[in-house]
Structures are given as structure tokens and as C-alpha cells.
Amino acid sequence: MSETYLLFRHLFTALLLPPAPFLLMLLVVPMILKRWRRMAYVWGLLGIVLTWLSCTEAGAELSARGLLDRSAPLDLARFQAEAPDMRVHSAVWVLGGGIEQNHAEWSRAQLKPAAFQRLRYGLHLARELHLPVGFSGGPTMDDDLSVPESTVAQQVASEEFKLPLQWEEDQSFDTRDNARLSLPLLRTSGVKRIFLVTNAEHMQRSLRAFHQAEVHPGEFEIIPAPIGCRTRSGLRLRDWVPSEQGFQKMRYVMYERIGLWIGH
């Protein structure tokens, strides 16, 4: 992946995701002010309000409710209560979330926080349900392409959690690749039911990709096992105050919505 491509990709993404579009709204206020003073004030006020909300957890949560179809948390007790023979031909499958290689304190690549949390929860499910677990993640587009994410995940799973992965899918670059390259591995192993682990905001796009990758509709039973689900439905006053978490979550919500719109 060339540096030029990555530069334009990051720039294009930055311009599409909040708060950039709302800041651009404010740039046109002087031009409107020359001819339509009242409209300029309304437009400017709207830009300020949207910029503020785009950096809050409240804004991110309301956007997610309106723009995404998020899956409910997995009812683990329900599946633990199943007879062992009901869990035959089942597997936990974790989708990657990227790696980082710019930490001087580590001698090798590390999973990004989202990827680590997905892997951690996937291994937890595998232990609780006594199921094999696999990980899908190939060479990252942002760092050294020679290190597949699944290789890093295998190191973490084996060394830190003492539960090695049974499958490693190490060629995918995006969600569609995750699905297209994962299902053949699972099909060959006789898996019929998949506990799919990824972030709640990413689950809708992931489910679509996996269903589209099936050779026959309904070939697999795909059970969402999202992470990052809210434990409460209401919003607190502090959720309306800009925060790092709010900023990151809003960008994630909009990134997923744009991915759904363009069919990516």
C-alpha cells in the first residue's frame, strides 16, 4: 500500500468524519454574512452546536440509535445452559481491529485497543462455552505489511491468556475480506454456528458481510456477540460535555454508517 494512497485515504476520511464537516460549515459564515446576515447567524449557530455535539457521548449515542442497528449483548447464560451436544459444530470468531508498531517499549507489534478487547472477550466466550476460537485479521494498511494481525493475536492469546487460537485468517484487509476468507476455513472444519465478536457499532456491517459471503443463504447460524454495549439507556448531564470518548465514539458511529451507505 503506497504512502500516497494512505495519505489521501486518511485525508478523505478525516474530511468526512465529525467534527470536520461542521467546522467547514463555520468557514462559509463570512461569505453568507455579506448577503444574508440572519441566515449567517443561524448557520453559524448550527455549526457550533453540531461541532459541540459531535465531541460528546450523548451526540454519539443518539447518532448510533438513529443510524445503526446495534445488536443486544449476548445472553451468555442461555448458551451455557445448552446441552454440550448442542454446541457441537460451533465456534467463536473474532474480527480484527488493527495493530500498532510504533511503541518503543515493545519489541514487536501490539494489538490496537479495540482489537485487544475483541480478542479478550472472544477468549472469554470460548472458555465459558468450551468452544474453539479463531481470529480474522491480515496485514494492516497502516503499518508494516509483513505482520498479519492474526499472528499478533495468536501471540497474545497463547502467551497472555494461555488459550491458543484454533484458526488464523491472515489475509484480510477489511470487513468484506474478513467474511469472504473466514467462512471457507469454518466450512472446512464443519462449523455451522458462529459466535461473531466485534464492536457493537461494527456488528451491523459485519453481519451483512458474513451473510453476503455465504454460498447458500442461511448456511451458517451467525450469533452476534458485540462488545462495547452500554449498560444504561439514559444519558447523564456529563454525557453532553465534549470528551475524548465522545469524540472517538462519534467518529466510529459515522465511519460505520458511511460504510453501510457505500456498501463497503
CATH assignment of the domain containing 203: 3.40.50.620
In a domain, 234, yes or no: no
Per residue in 11-44, pLDDT tens? 888 888 888 888 888 877 777 766 777 788 888 8
In a domain, 233, yes or no: no
102 and 22 part of one domain: no
More confident residue, 223 or 107: 223
In a domain, 148, yes or no: yes
Query: What's the rounded Cα separation, in Å, for the pair 224 and 95?
Result: 12
211 and 108 part of one domain: yes
**β partners of residue 148:** 139
Distances 79 to 4, 83, 84, 190, 199 between C-alpha atoms, Å? 48, 9, 10, 20, 20
Kindly indicate the confidence band of residue 86, based on its pLDDT and cuts at 50, 70 and 90.
confident
Kindly indicate the confidence band of residue 6, based on its pLDDT and cuts at 50, 70 and 90.
low
Kindly indicate the confidence band of residue 51, based on its pLDDT and cuts at 50, 70 and 90.
very high
- Which of 53-62, 78-87, 192-201 is predicted least confidently? 78-87
**β partners of residue 227:** 199
Tally of domains in the chain: 2
In a domain, 236, yes or no: no
Per residue in 167-182, pLDDT tens? 999 999 899 999 999 9
In a domain, 108, yes or no: yes
Kindly indicate the confidence band of residue 129, based on its pLDDT and cuts at 50, 70 and 90.
very high
Task: Map residue 99 onto helix, strand or coil.
Answer: strand
Domain that includes residue 195, residue range: 76-227
- Which of 21-35, 110-124, 127-141 is predicted least confidently? 21-35
**218 DSSP assignment:** T
